[in-house]
């Protein structure tokens, strides 16, 4: 593998390396004891080998308790035992189920990760989180179980659609903005050069996220700020029956947060909004999804968000001096009317811009 860069992420249970480069991704990490859990979309890129290769579909139905149970039984049938290692190859769904299953199977298997989507490369590949859906509630259960290593090969980007690239950049810009004005401006500079050097933007965003992971590994304070765009975004995903990808829903959720009356205003916020609108416009799938918006499902999902308390909404909103802050509002009918209004405004603006 030709290295572009390498850095270390420190956790309470040890540390792991993140390598960004190109070429020979699988040969550089796959040992004879590895069992590969691979996204069906990239199965052909995994060479034939003696060790087991388990294929999963990258769908929201896969990252459920039932989906994880099926995978656990496949690991058992394949003869995987303590001391074996999981190599996860794929996007965020593969990462979620591989993290969760590796954590609980026989009380823990070592695992490594090769992300194949931009969203996974620039965001979820570090931090060790698993997020599993239960019923209609997205990401209700999970844990934190860091990998042994992460290997990022931008060669996979060539296989992604424009919508998938936009989804990954939506998460990337969110992270950079949360880190602060300097990191956000650096992101915008690297974004203008993304086609020529995607590895530079990926590295920058991951180093931004590393700060949150290392100062707040277990998601108690600073790392919660990375939920920016997610409180609205997860509810939007539910409201459109997942016809909008997670990353694009996050971009839409950021715009909702920007429109909230308690959000700070100013040039940085304006630049963030312009960038998110540009990503959504370039994705080409937003209008059709929003036209099928189900307000009842949106309200149910929004109120069920795990960050809220019984009597308050907890929102991550742009802060006056750049970056973001957690803001707590009531959860009365009046407070809900505000949420519905800013969401309606964002929908109407999106549909009007694309008309």
Question: What pLDDT is recorded for position 266?
Answer: 97
Last residue of a domain, one of 130, 158, 186: 158
- Whether the pTM exceeds 0.95: the reply is no
* Average confidence (pLDDT) over 284-300: 91
Question: What pLDDT is recorded for position 22?
Answer: 76
Q: Are residues 47 and 180 in the same domain?
A: no
Q: Are residues 153 and 169 in the same domain?
A: no
Tell me: pLDDT of 28 over 70: no
Q: Are residues 195 and 263 in the same domain?
A: yes
Question: What pLDDT is recorded for position 355?
Answer: 47
Q: Are residues 153 and 181 in the same domain?
A: no
pLDDT band at 33; cut points 50, 70, 90: low
Tell me: pLDDT of 7 over 90: yes
Q: Are residues 166 and 146 in the same domain?
A: no
What distances in angstroms separate CA 318 from CA 52, 150, 269, 285, one per listed residue?
46, 31, 7, 26
Question: What pLDDT is recorded for position 352?
Answer: 78
DSSP string computed for 111-176: EEEEE-SHHIIIIITSS-EEEEEETTEEEEEEEE---SEEEE-GGGGGGS-HHHHHHHHHHHHHHH
Q: How many domains does the chain have?
A: 2
Tell me: pLDDT of 130 over 60: yes
Question: What pLDDT is recorded for position 13?
Answer: 82
Query: What percentage of residues in the chain have a pLDDT greater than 70?
Result: 95
Tell me: pLDDT of 231 over 50: yes
DSSP 319: -
Q: Are residues 144 and 185 in the same domain?
A: no
Q: For 187-218, what is each residue's pLDDT tens digit?
A: 999 999 999 999 999 999 999 999 999 999 88
Question: What pLDDT is recorded for position 338?
Answer: 97
Query: What percentage of residues in the chain have a pLDDT greater than 90?
Result: 78
DSSP 58: -
DSSP 320: T
Q: Are residues 212 and 65 in the same domain?
A: no
Question: What pLDDT is recorded for position 316?
Answer: 98
Question: What pLDDT is recorded for position 72?
Answer: 97
Last residue of a domain, one of 102, 131, 158: 158
Judge whether 120 and 39 are in contact, CB under 8 Å.
no
Q: Are residues 145 and 200 in the same domain?
A: no
Q: Residue 50 is part of a domain; what is its CATH number?
A: 3.40.50.1970
Tell me: pLDDT of 50 over 80: no
Last residue of a domain, one of 158, 186, 218: 158
pLDDT band at 29; cut points 50, 70, 90: low
* Average confidence (pLDDT) over 216-241: 94
Q: Residue 273 is part of a domain; what is its CATH number?
A: 1.20.1090.10
pLDDT band at 31; cut points 50, 70, 90: low
What range defines the domain where residue 123 resides?
2-158
Q: Are residues 227 and 325 in the same domain?
A: yes
């Amino acid at each position: 593998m030709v290295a572009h860069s390498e850095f270390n992420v420190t956790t309470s249970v040890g540390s792991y390396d993140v390598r960004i480069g190109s070429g020979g991704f699988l040969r550089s990490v796959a040992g004879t004891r590895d069992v590969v859990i691979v996204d069906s979309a990239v199965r052909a890129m995994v060479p034939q080998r003696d060790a087991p290769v388990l294929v999963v579909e990258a769908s929201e139905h896969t990252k459920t308790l039932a989906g994880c149970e099926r995978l656990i039984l496949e690991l058992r049938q394949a003869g995987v035992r303590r001391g074996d290692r999981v190599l996860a190859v794929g996007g965020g769904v593969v990462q979620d189920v591989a993290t969760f299953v590796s954590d609980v199977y026989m009380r823990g298997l070592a695992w490594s990760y090769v992300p194949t989507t931009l969203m996974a490369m620039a965001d979820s590949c570090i931090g060790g989180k698993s997020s599993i859906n239960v019923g209609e509630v997205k990401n209700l259960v999970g844990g934190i179980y860091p990998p042994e290593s992460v290997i990022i090969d931008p060669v996979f980007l060539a296989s992604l659609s424009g919508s998938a690239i936009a989804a990954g950049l939506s998460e990337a810009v969110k992270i950079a903005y949360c880190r602060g004005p300097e990191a956000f401006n650096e992101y915008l500079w690297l974004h203008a050069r993304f086609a020529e050097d995607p590895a530079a933007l990926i590295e920058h965003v991951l180093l931004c996220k590393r700060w949150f992971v290392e100062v707040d590994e277990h998601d108690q304070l600073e790392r919660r700020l990375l939920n920016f765009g997610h409180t609205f975004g997860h509810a939007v995903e539910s409201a459109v029956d997942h016809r909008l990808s997670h990353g694009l829903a996050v971009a839409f959720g950021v715009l909702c947060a920007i429109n909230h009356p308690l959000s700070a205003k100013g040039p940085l916020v304006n630049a963030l909004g312009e960038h998110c609108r540009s990503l959504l416009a370039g994705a080409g799938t937003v209008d059709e999804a929003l036209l099928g918006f189900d307000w009842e499902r949106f309200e149910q999902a929004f109120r069920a968000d795990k960050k809220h308390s019984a009597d308050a909404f907890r929102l991550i909103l742009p802060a006056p001096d750049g970056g973001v802050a957690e803001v707590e509002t009531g959860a009365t009918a009046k407070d809900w009317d505000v949420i519905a209004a800013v969401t309606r405004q964002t929908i109407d603006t999106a549909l009007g811009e694309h008309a």
